[in-house]
Amino acid sequence: MVWKKGSVIMEAKPYAHVICQKFIGNHCNFCMKGSEHLKKCGGCKSIRYCGLTCQKGDWKIHKTECEIMKRVPNLPTDSIRLYLRLIICHLVRPTFSFYSEIL
């Protein structure tokens, strides 16, 4: 097999992710696709989704995050939100391993 520049050699879902503050208004918080027609989370009103499927898909993680984000006056920085998501992901799926997903 010959790999060329730009060839996909591996794909994996991230353990945790956040949308950068710069793109949070026009990218879905679950599938990360960009769109100008996203709906805000009714709880925290900070993040957006393509639709109900993505909102439901993210709810397991966002449920806890949403409660916390509702209590803070401003959107926390990307690093803080990622750290929070890492903790929530660890609590929700403590046995998840990136390597077990790809091997």
Rounded distance between C-alpha atoms, residue 46 and residue 40, angstroms: 7
From 1-9, 17-25, 47-55, 80-88, span contacting Zn ion (CB under 5 A):
47-55
- Is 28 a binding residue for Zn ion by CB under 5 A? The answer is yes
Name the one residue in this structure whose structure tokens are 């993680």.
61
Rounded distance between C-alpha atoms, residue 96 and residue 72, angstroms: 29
> What is the nearest approach in angstroms of Zn ion to the Cβ of residue 90?
20
- Is 24 a binding residue for Zn ion by CB under 5 A? The answer is no
Identify the residue among 19, 27, 48, 50 touching Zn ion (CB under 5 A): 50
